[in-house]
Amino acid sequence: MDLLNHDLAHEFPQYLQKMRALKTSDPHFISLFSQYDADNHAIIKYEQGIGLITDEALEALKKKRLKIKDEIYGILKAS
């Protein structure tokens, strides 16, 4: 299955330098970035058939990832 790449570098290529700077200076951003990355990797694993998860739980994880991405985008846009 060919899946879309949802890592933050692909989601927000125009903000790469801002992300690098915030990852070294903003503890809240670092926390959000880490959680997004962990959730994204988990979703990829489940979509590739590695591990078991219900459809409902996978959908909830995707919604959580989206909420974190929205918050990250707000921070990037404001900085």
- Domain edges within the chain: 24-78
Other beta carbons less than 10 A from residue 54's beta carbon: 9
Work out the pLDDT band at 3, boundaries 50, 70, 90: low
- From the centroid of its chain, how far is CA 67? 9
What percentage of the chain exceeds 90 in pLDDT? 91
pLDDT score for 10: 92
**How far is residue 45's CA from residue 77's CA, in Å, rounded to a whole number?**
30
Whether 35 has a pLDDT exceeding 50, the answer reads yes
For range 37-58, the mean pLDDT: 95
pLDDT score for 1: 43
Whether 19 has a pLDDT exceeding 80, the answer reads yes
**How far is residue 59's CA from residue 22's CA, in Å, rounded to a whole number?**
29
pLDDT score for 2: 44
